[in-house]
Structure 1
Amino acid sequence: MESKAMTVTYNANVYASADEVDQEDVYVNSAVPTVEKHKPTSDKKRPFIIPDAVRPFLPLAVCWVILLIILFLRIHFTSVISAKLNHNLQEVISLNEHWKQDRDDLNVQIYNMREAQSSLGDNFRNLKDENDQLKRKIQKLSAEKQSMSEEVQQLKAEKQSMSEEVQRLKAEKQSMSEEVQRLKAENQRLNKTYEYTTAIPTVTMWNTTSDITVHNSSISWMWTSHYRRRRQIEPCQRGWLQFKSSCYVTSNHDSLDQKTWEGARDDCRGRNSELVVIESPEEQDFVYSSLIRLGASDYWTGLRVKSGSWNWVDGRNLTDHYWIQPPADNEGCVISVRGTSGWKAVSCDIKNSWICEQGALSG
């Protein structure tokens, strides 16, 4: 059995009248002549007739269909819009996450920049402090440069003074050389006098009462008389240096001949003198420049501790002093230091050279 295709044509704007419905009913219920059934052709279709029982529900059905269509469309568009909104929401969430990440990165950068700013501030303060220190160092170096310039000028003046001193010493050397030549000539003359005197065996003198014979074998008397006469002419002995009213001489510079303070004093006493007593700055300068500066060692002076105080060998107390460093308690004798115009207290038992002093004879 073949199924017939049913076509339903509905137009909401077209409605059939009651007479037409009755006519169609008569037409349908009328006797149908027997005819041979033929297959409907494909190009002619029988219209679909809506039953009367269904027609009252047709508008309601149409409304339901429309409502279902609207509901379907709503659900469809709601799902589409929801999917779109979900997609947009996911994009917004993703963008929000990116923005949060960017915000965190910016916060980290801001923190790092603040740290860098703080570090730059510290560096700036450190550089400012270093700048101030460099300024102070520059000022200090400028002052030192000024001081060194003054020292250079002072050294130049000292060099000039030393040059003059060298010239003076050369002149003294020349004078001493001339004195040596004169003494050699005088020595030759005295030798000739001695030879002439020893060639005469005796000197005979006559007196009204007796003959007196004088022997010339005692030549020492002649030499003693000669040096007495010479000592009366010159204020200091040969080899001694004069300064004002005193004569000075230094010991041998050989280290084997050095003595303790007591030994040095005994040697000076054997020369009819005493260890040097310095009474003024001028005498200190003379002793240093003429006797000590060119020497080979330090020299004993006549200053020592006696009864807890510093005294000179002539009994006078110490007034002016030229200490290089303050004396210690266990150092009881004083030396004049070679190379510096000053004194130093040392033990009296060590050995040094020494300076003797005696009064000069007046003319």
Structure 2
Amino acid sequence: MYRTKMRKKSCLCQNIYGLNCISICLAPAEFLSDKKSNSRCRHYQQLACCLGTLCIILVLGIIAVSVYHVTSIHEIDETELNQLKENQTTLNAVNRNLTKLNNKLNSDNEDLKRNQTKLTLQMNNLTQVITVLEKNVTNLTAENQNLRGKNEELEAEKKNLTDQIQNMTTSWNELNVSRAQWSIDAYCPKTNNNRMCVVCQTGWLPFQSGCYAINNPKASEQKTWKGAQDDCIGKISDLAVVNNETEKSYISDNSWDSSGNNGYWIGLRVKDGNWKWVDGRNLTKSAWIPGSPTDGQCAISVTNQGFKSVSCSEQNRWICKKKALTL
């Protein structure tokens, strides 16, 4: 019974500062005295108090660390949040700039597409133009070849014409020599091996500076105005051109055997609505021939009546004229 009481006294349980401490059950001190037991119990109580104090300090430290950690995390979170907000603002600005740049690039891309379409159309047009030009070049090349062929033909023809001209020139020179000789014989005939020159050849009448041939064929051999002019040309002369009143009187005086509308053709006819001489001059003295000029009309000389207008198709005698030889 004594041992049971001692065991109960040796097991102490203290509640320090409201905290559960480790229950310390002391081994039965059967052989220890009560004094030693009390001393040891105080010692353990002190140790328990120290341990409790350490636990409190540890708990407070943990709480302080937790509070510091939470505060630091909160401060870090606010800094990071501000940084994130700044980054977000920067990113939003960058995003807006990128959006604007993207829109500009899209607009430029559309412009490039439109320009590409225009360039494609222009290239197609240029291709068509080039095709046309190539055809034109081909045609021009063919025409050039044809022209070369024709040029060769023309060169050959030119050579032939040159040869003909040379031959004609030779013939003309020979003819001129023959005509010169004929003129000498006509104007300076030989009589008993002597030549005596006259101003007009045989059969021609001299007057002033001209020689006149009065052609009086029979009615069946008379000619139209053109036929008479051709005959005069064959005699190296023309139908008579009258320059003044004296010559007009001479022509009229030699128009014998003429009356009414039968006379001698002279070198005057209506051309382009005007009276013109065969040398191209206009009739300046309209009183020489009455009436208005009418195309198809030519002039005849009638004795004692002067000049009359008749149809060029009528047949009449004619008077030729050439320059007299100057001695």
Normalising by the smaller structure, the TM-score range is 0.3 to 0.5
TM-score by length of 1: 0.38
